[in-house]
Amino acid sequence: MSAFQHLKTVNKHRKLVRQGCFAVGLYKQGLLHDMSKYSPTEFWVGAKYYQGTRSPNNAEREDIGYSSAWLHHKGRNKHHYEYWIDYSIHNAPPGMHGMMPAPMPIKYIVEMLMDRVAACKVYNGDAYTNSSPMEYYNKGLDPAPMHPKTKAFLELFLRMLEVWGEEDTYAFIKENIVSRAKKFDDKDSLQFCLDFCERGQRRLKKDSLQHKGYLK
């Protein structure tokens, strides 16, 4: 029974990610998202530790001290920032050295957003709101080994979702982010990306205050 329930959860999650990716024009990623979850290494662990209200990876960690399924998963799915941790040889961000995060291509940051939205919808059920992905992100801020570009865009997208809602956020991402991927992914574009995200956060702060009636 737990295997069937876990399969339903995986299928539901992938369907929600697919819908999000399709909305922003990332069709291939939507179709291929999380296919490794059907592999025996990940699937049977998920079935064994299935609970339905949270990731079975956390239950496996509590049981044996680490998650074998997660170790398998993160090395095969580029929408996880952990996939992009490597040894740095040069051009390290200030204050970083040794094992450190590489910048994620923008299309995988967008897929990471869709992954987080879908996971929150699956596990929160009717309690899900557009603030749920940001709330989940804030609970896990143990300083994650995330590249500054990755962190800036993820936080921008999560805040955008909170303030604008899903439809307007996805429309903005499709028109202004996915369509300009080459610009954001240029090897010398870090400052451009950080400035872009800072301007976006300022706009969202103003929009939020207007929505609450503090600005006219």
pLDDT in tens, 66-112: 999 999 999 999 999 999 998 876 656 666 667 889 999 999 999 99
Q: How far apart are the first and last CA of the chain?
A: 55
161 within a domain of the structure (yes/no):
yes
Res 180: pLDDT: 95
Res 99: pLDDT: 81
pLDDT at position 216 over 70: no
- Classify residue 47 by burial, with Cβ atoms within 10 Å: 0-12, 13-18, 19+: middle
Domain that holds residue 193: 2-34+77-211
pLDDT tens for 23-79 read 999 999 999 999 999 999 999 999 999 998 899 999 999 999 999 999 999 999 999
Res 145: pLDDT: 86
62 within a domain of the structure (yes/no):
no
Res 96: pLDDT: 60
Tell me the angle at which helices 2-23 and 106-124 cross, rounded to the nearest 10 degrees.
Answer: 130
142 within a domain of the structure (yes/no):
yes
Taking all residues of the chain, what is their mean pLDDT, rounded to a whole number? 92
Listed residue (45, 49, 116) closest to 81, CA to CA: 116
42 within a domain of the structure (yes/no):
no
113 within a domain of the structure (yes/no):
yes
Res 52: pLDDT: 87
pLDDT tens for 121-168 read 999 999 999 999 999 999 876 667 899 999 999 999 999 999 999 999
Q: How many domains in the chain?
A: 1
Return the ∠ at Cα 46 (arms to 109 and 51), rounded to 5°: 100
58 within a domain of the structure (yes/no):
no
68 within a domain of the structure (yes/no):
no
